[in-house]
Amino acid sequence: MSDTAFDLVVIGAGPGGYVAASKAAELGMKVACIDKSYLGGTCLNVGCIPSKALLESSDLFYRAKRGLGHHGIGQGEVGLDLQAMMARKEKI
């Protein structure tokens, strides 16, 4: 392992951490971000964003299942593929 010098080491790369690291880099500092998981924190990786992706898929399913008839749109049987919904969530 090589030794590398940094002007600033940010512990935690959630919303506050990556903003601090970005600003320090803009100011010319050599910055490292350390996080136990993926950069972006809980909201980006497992909380807000993935949850909203699942909510959107669920809402679309509900609309297709129950709401289109009000608009004069007929459809066949609507199914739910939970594995596909979860895969989409993971890609986002």
Q: What is the pLDDT of residue 20?
A: 92
Reading the block at residue 89, the tokens are 């969530």
pLDDT for the residue 1: 59
What does the pLDDT read at residue 87? 92
**Residues 60 and 87 reside in one and the same domain:** yes
- pLDDT by 10s per residue, the chain, length 92: 578 899 999 998 888 888 899 999 999 999 999 988 777 777 777 778 888 999 999 999 998 888 788 888 887 888 899 999 999 988 88
| DSSP state at residue 70 | G
Number of domains the chain contains = 2
| CB atoms closer than 10 angstroms to residue 78 | 13
Q: Go through 35-67 and write b for each residue having 16 or more CB atoms within 10 A of its CB, e for each that does not.
A: beeeebbeebeeeeebeebeeebeeeeeeeeee
Answer yes or no: do 38 and 72 share one domain. no
pLDDT at 22: 92
d(CA 69, CA 62): 12
Q: Are residues 54 and 83 in the same domain?
A: yes
87 and 53, same domain (yes or no): yes
36 & 23 share domain: yes
Residues 55 and 87 in one domain: yes
Provide the residue range defining the domain that includes 30: 8-44
- Is 14 found in the same domain as 29? yes
